Structure 1
Amino acid sequence: MSTKESRATDRTRIAALNQQIQQLVTEKEALQKRLDAYKYPILTLPNEIMAEIFQHCLPAPPHSPPPFGPGSPTVLTHVCSLWRQIALAMPGLWCSISMDSAPDTLISCWLERSGTKPLSIQTNNMLDSVESSLLHHFRPHQARWETIQLRVDSQSLSTLLLPMPLLRHIELDGQDVPAGTRITEVPALRSAILWEFDQHMVLLPWQQLTSLALISTTPEECTPILQEAIQLIVCELVLTGALPDDQPQITLPALERLTLTHYLFTEEPAPTGFLEFFSAPCLKRLRIVNRLIPPSSLERLLEKHDNIEEICILGKRGHGMPTRQVQYASQHPTIKFTLEENLDEWFEDMEADQTRMAMRRLRSFIEIPLFE
């Protein structure tokens, strides 16, 4: 039962509670003020430093980041408003685009965000031609193409015949490219990787290249090209077919790195002895599959080329260095002799010409540097 005394006690208690509440509110405000004043270390960095960090999150050209998920620049836009602001103000984050799994809307978005930056366009699937409907997104930006990696069909080919003033590297599957096709308006082109390019002797301005890889080529097909490509510094040939009886000499005065290996997706013989027809006075590094080295071939090579620093023999893992190469190593202590796993190990027991994994592994074997 409420009495005068109990009501007075309740009022006193309420006043005390209100005082405690006010003290807690004051304490809360002080704590919140302290939290608001705290700066997370990552957010104290200048935007320029953050931009540099963001740039290093991406793979180096010509490799493109995935459109979504880890490794994609879109992830950076989902962390906080500041990161989103920085990322969207960086055209360099959006100028390397993969056509493999990106939807049309995303391609258009990235192209817009890339501003006026040079573009790197890539597909990891060199077995299928890029659809013309997909390539049309990139046509208005062709003057910005810097690196491209794709397989085109006859309908899409016309795109590559237009001027590409910034193009520095091209990787192209020529299986569907008509013979006699010329890609000429590419004044900055220095590096090329070509797949299945039968009879494409005039495809590129070979004389301006410094790096070239030809995958699945015969000595007869590649010799006229190499004779024109006199500025090559790096050359990699995945060879097939026998050496012709009238094989001419190939002189590459600037060549420093040469790779010769055998294309295993064919029953044609290996062009053993092809190495002997190369004259490269500046050669420093040679990678060559063991089956392409006839007896005394390396000895004659070393007699003609006194700048060689490294010879890498491509063979099967666990087989060790061939005996005669061990002898050469002991006779030439200033030259580094190494043994590297060859394509044989990867492609044994595989239907390689129908296996995407095999094609990716073949591509990983190529060491062509960009923009040297």
Structure 2
Amino acid sequence: MSELANPLSSWNTEHSPFASVIGTNHVPSTAELKSLQAHLVHPQLELSHLETEIDRAQTVLSNLLSEKRKIGNYIEAHRALASPVRQIPPETLAEIFVQCLPTEPSYPARNLNEAPLIFMTICRHWRSVALTTPLLWNSLHIFLPPHLSEDACSRRIAGTTMWLERSGSLPLSISFHGNTNLRHAWNPGQISHSERAMPETNMELMIRSLMLFSDRFRDVFLSLTSTSFTSFNKLSPSLFPSLISLRVRDEDSQFGTMWSSDDPAFSPLLSRMPLLKSLEIDEVLVPDKNFHLLPCNWRNITNIAIKDSLTPVKVIAILTETPWIQSISFLIALGDDMASTVVHLKDLVEMRLSVFQNQPVEDDALDGFFQTQVTSLTNCIQCSALRVLDFSSDWPTMAISKWPFSRLPLHSLEILNLAMPLTPNALTECLSQTPNLINFEFKTAMWPKFPLRDSHLSSLTFSPNNPNPMWPRLQNIRVLDQIYALEQSISSSATTSAKSLTNFLESRYQKTPLKSCDMLYQAKPDPYFSEAELSILQNLKQNGLKLRLHVQAKPPYGFTPDSPDTGIAHRFSPRHSDMEGHFGAEVII
């Protein structure tokens, strides 16, 4: 091979004098090696020149980028001065901060990623506004676990005190959860005396710090053990002059024990709350379920919720003591103990009842038993101002053939939430007796054969044959066929068809103040939505109707110990509190 005399005009290896052997296993001779070295002199010089140029260009680029960043920062610094948020007056900014506070749950927590603490991390001005806005600091959730060290507890107490001091003189809402049970308390032999004493000492220190603000307590939620409640009682003042709302929960129940003394541990507190209006009792044992004997000013109570199974007689005993009650919520055990005393509650606006069967009843007598028991109870409650009725029944798979609330003042009812197995005729009776309904929710859980049907939707739909449909004031409707039935054979006549639902929504959205519709089908409507129907529904949604139509997913069968869903949901009882659940749902609209 001979070396080219002239420099290469291209760096393409195809033009190289060695092109025929590049990429092969050819072994160059001594002469060829010399020729190679001579041939590469010029390319190496060119490469060195290019590297020098690249270094120079990178230096220039780096300088330009640095200058760009400086100018950009200069501009942004000046633009920030003209930012619209800077023009917001401090009092308006404070109101914005208040609107960002959590609503569910309603107690803010010591979380830097949530209001109000997040406002302390943005800038000096926001921090100053937050610190001088008492409304941001008059509510707090406090958690005191038993394993905190003395130093950690001291820091938590200091933080709690500082938080509440920022609230100025405003009434306080406090959620206090804690206990003195060590995690390994089931093996007390392994707990030293000092370890056993520390949680109790921490609890007393926290309670003492809270009592500095007790005269401003307005709303209190206490979830404590009986031991902690005893400490709370001991360290409390003789009076809580501003407290109007109390919720108590037995933390011992988390460990499989319940208060069993003659009086519940929170009982002494009630006599120190002369202005108490709202009382909620969760998972607390009261001797013989005589809640009406608790030492509070019952005539002051306007709202009560008791999450313990009460007979109708016990419910009436409570209501007899609360003539000015406005809202009630009870879990009721139906059995032989039937109420007969009539109570007149002229201010009762909201009634929430959940019933279950407390004694064996023959299957063929279930319907009559239910009718007799529920009707007997509701007949005893005279309430002309009722606006909200929420009723659920943990009942066997049977159809309730007669609407059981006919004696209630249903004409003025505005909100109705049902979770019970009504037959079509009973549901029709419900529609006819509640003419002024605004919100309706119907959960057909456990009873997939008794959902809202086409005949019901037709009675609610404007048409030439029905110019005055039922529920003319309806704004929100929600129907959740939300349980995985073992028997999937549901006939088309036992579910809401796509056509009837489309006609209902289209007619109501055009002529009435319908705002929202949620439908969760257990199975696809038959027939399924046509393209024309889907187009109508999509247009309704685009025009402002809050519309969600989902088809429930089928549960996976054949669980294995290593299934991704093991431990999250029971095979036939998945979590489905809303339109979406762990197993998901097919979205129609």
Instruction: State TM-score, norm by structure 1.
Output: 0.70
Cα deviation digits, residues 92-140 of structure 1 (max 9, x gap): 2122111126922321221222222211111467998994443222111
TM-aligned CA distance change 1:33 to 1:281, over 3 Å: closer
Which AA in structure 1 matches 2:157? D
* Alpha-carbon distance in 2 for matches of 1:150, 1:342: 32
Separation of aligned partners in 1, 2:236 and 2:401? 44
Choose 1 or 2 for highest CA Rg: 2
Task: State the partner residue of 1:193.
Answer: 280
Distance (Å, rounded) in 2 between the aligned partners of 1:32 and 1:300 = 74
Counterpart CA distance in 1 for 2:247 and 2:123 is: 38
Question: C-alpha separation between the residues in 2 aligned to 1:234 and 1:57?
Answer: 28
Output the CA distance in 1 between the equivalents of 2:239 and 2:400. Answer: 45
CA apart distance, 1:235: 1.1
Higher relative contact order (CA 8 A, sep 6+): 1
Q: How many angstroms does 1:184 deviate by?
A: 3.1
Alignment CA distance shift 1:144-1:126 (3 Å): same
* 1:90 equivalenced with 2:157 (yes/no): no
| Alignment partner, residue 244 of structure 2 | 168
Q: Indicate the larger mover: 326-335 or 175-184.
A: 175-184
Q: Which residue of 2 aligns with 1:331?
A: 432
Counterpart residue type for residue 286 of structure 1? L
Structure 1's 274 and 295: CA in aligned 2 closer, same or farther, altered over 3 A? farther
Match of 1:52 among 95, 98, 101: 95
TM-aligned CA deviation for residue 311 of structure 1: 3.5
Distance (Å, rounded) in 2 between the aligned partners of 1:42 and 1:168? 38
Native 8 Å contact 2:219 2:243 kept in 1 = yes
Q: How does 1:319-358 map to 2 (within 5 A)?
A: 321-332=422-433, 334-336=435-437, 338-340=441-443
**Structure 2 counterparts to residues 60-99 of structure 1, below 5 A:** 60=103, 63-99=106-142
Count the aligned residue pairs: 316
Q: TM-score, normalised by structure 2?
A: 0.46
Which deviations, in whole Å up to 9, do the C-alpha atoms of 1:293-320 show, x marking residues without a partner?
9765635425x664334443223xxx7x
Corresponding position of 2:160: 107
Match in the other structure for 2:407: 301
Contact kept, 8 Å, 1:289 with 1:342, in 2: the verdict is: no
Q: Structure 1 pair 329/240, CA: closer, same or farther in 2 (3 Å)?
A: closer
Deviating more after overlay: 282-291 vs 210-219? 282-291
1:250 and 2:349 matched: no
Secondary structure at the counterpart of residue 218 of structure 2: strand
What is the rounded CA distance, in whole Å, between the counterparts of 1:243 and 1:78 in structure 2?
61
Q: Distance in 1 between matches of 2:114 and 2:217?
A: 22
**Judging changes above 3 Å, is the alpha-carbon distance between structure 1 residues 268 and 118 closer, same or farther for their aligned structure 2 residues?**
farther
Corresponding residue number in structure 1 for 2:316? 223
State the partner residue of 2:326. Answer: 233
- One-letter amino acid of the counterpart of residue 283, structure 1: L
Aligned equivalents of 1:40 and 1:248: distance in 2?
67
Asked whether 1:149 is paired with 2:242, we answer no
Cα contact 2:412–2:436 (8 A) shared by 1: no
Q: Which runs of 5+ in 2 are unaligned?
A: 1-66, 145-152, 182-198, 251-257, 362-369, 448-481, 484-568, 570-574, 576-589
Question: How many Å separate the matches in 2 of 1:248 and 1:159?
Answer: 41
- Tell me how far 1:217 sits from its aligned partner: 3.8
SS in 2 for 1:287: strand
Residue in structure 1 matched with residue 419 of structure 2 by the alignment: 314
* Distance (Å, rounded) in 1 between the aligned partners of 2:128 and 2:343: 55
Inter-partner Cα distance in structure 1 for 2:168 and 2:345 = 40
Q: How much does 1:34 deviate?
A: 9.2
In the alignment, the residues of structure 1 paired with residue 104 and residue 235 of structure 2 have an alpha-carbon distance, to the nearest angstrom, of 21
Query: 2:305 matched to which residue of 1?
Result: 213
| Alignment match of 2:383 (pick from 268, 273, 280) | 280
Distance 1:83 1:279 in 2: 53
- C-alpha separation between the residues in 1 aligned to 2:114 and 2:392? 36
Describe the shift of the 1:243–1:84 C-alpha distance in structure 2 as closer, same or farther (beyond 3 A).
Answer: farther
Once residues 124 and 400 of structure 2 are traced to their aligned partners in structure 1, the CA distance between those partners, rounded to angstroms, is 64
User: In the alignment, which residue of structure 2 is the partner of 1:8?
Assistant: none
Aligned to 2:158, the other structure's residue is in SS state: helix
Q: Deviations for 1:258-294, whole angstroms, at most 9, x for unmatched residues?
A: 1110379x99999645323211122222111246897
Specify whether residues 262 and 334 from structure 1 end up closer, same or farther in structure 2 by C-alpha distance, changes over 3 A only.
Answer: same
RMSD: 4.1
Unaligned runs of 5+ in 1: 1-24, 347-356, 362-372
Contact kept? 1:314, 1:341, Cα under 8 Å = yes
In the TM superposition, residue 66 of structure 1 has moved relative to its aligned partner by 2.2
